[in-house]
Structure 1
Amino acid sequence: MITSTSNQRIKHLVNLKKKRKARDEEKVFLVEGIRMFREVPVRKLREVYVTETFYQREKQVVDQVLAGSRITPEILSDTVFSYVSDTKTPQGILCVVEQMGYTLDEVAGGECPHIIVLDHLQDPGNLGTILRTAEGAGVTGIVMDRECVDIYNPKTIRSTMGSIYRMPFYYAEDLKTAVCDLKKRGIRTYAAHLEGKRDYDEENYCLPCAFLIGNEGNGLTKEIAELADTYIKIPMEGQVESLNAAIAASVLMFEVGRQRRRSYLN
């Protein structure tokens, strides 16, 4: 059992928790909680840390997930676990997981792509919520620029509720080039924009489509907005001009799903 916060492995975990550069250099990220552990692809699992109390209670579950792997859980004292945890009430299990590493072809491929493009999104919770909602709405992939918040930020990971393992995503070195690539593939691009003339539900999304979603405070950059084939709007009541980025994205994603289900049924 590790009982000291001065232990080198503990210092390493804290460094991975706090620093994007450290995570990217090792191509790993941290996940916490029994649900995130149970859903992790075992081939991506590097290390597992548990408290003694947790392991006594959940030993059968832990051993079942790790069956066939060469990973042995490392036991930490409650104090040390709290030190490395990113939550106020730690569940008692933390994992080091290999980063995903998708290509644009994997994200934008398929028979009828449904893509979300994120431009300078900054809030970890928003990004995590978009990933989770995207899985539920049937989105096929997410494209982001390098200015977006780190998808492997612990707060983002928690917000995904496991969708990080299943939703393909791609960080573009040049978002403009990536969006142009999508357009060359026959994917129609829509921007949720204050200058939109048509309501979002007046368009046909049964063909390949991508939605451009901008920064929480400033919206889409001019350069990216100009790449949209069509500006659309979500009609508002009262004095509200726009929605939170994650909520706006959710409205659009589920409209695509609704139209495609209706088309399939007909």
Structure 2
Amino acid sequence: MTPSRHQPPPGLAAAFDLSGKVAIVTGGNGGIGLAIARGLAAAGAGIVIAGRSDEKNRRAERDLAEAGATVMALNADVTREEDCKRLAAEAFAAFGRIDILVNNAGTNVRKQPEEYSLEEWHMLLDANLTSAFLATMAVFPMMKRTGGKIINIGSMTSLFGAGFAAPYGASKGGVVQLTKALASAWAQHGIRVNAILPGWIETDLTIRGRAATPHLHDQVIARTPAGRWGRPDDLAAAAVFLAGPGSDFVTGIALPVDGGYAAQA
């Protein structure tokens, strides 16, 4: 029988089914991270939120639980190796497995390159790149036995230079190269490692940047074929795809979710 055009072909729904899977989302208590956590939960995954703010953690945990998710929130600073190891251990103890890691935690400070202090440089590299390395190393022993999906959150500055975000761009470029290296090294263990490169997404971080950068809003709209800024929810479906069985033959990619920004000359 030919499937109805209103029904997915047999097997397609299973490609996005995360039932029984467990996902850690760093920085999952707000913005892009929370939107991705919601998407993974809607696809059936249990969620572990990692963040430094107890208040935001509790709010996100309540939000997801009220939507029907199985969720726990843990206070963790993912720039610290011991916190990452504790995060992985507590998540594994609670759920008995770790199938998905979304390395979303990060931050930015916008100014001209010569205005950064060395302390700011190290802080940004640690927050955006070292954190992804540490969290990934912490879950590797579990994923080595069972396989898994690692999703690193990069940026358009992984591809393009931005004069007001040199350390951030350096860190996000590093995220893409880390993604490729881990994908090459760990495919033998059934671990798939990919990156999502959000375009200009409306979050607290970018709203502050838009306020501090004259004409940024208009420049983004002019460059983006979709004609708008992105929303955190725009990233959820991409994360579900990269977390699910439908992407089992996809590894080492950096997927722009940017309304066509990277394609526009």
In the superposition, the TM-score normalised over structure 2's length comes to 0.33
Larger Rg: 1
Q: Which has the higher strand share?
A: 1
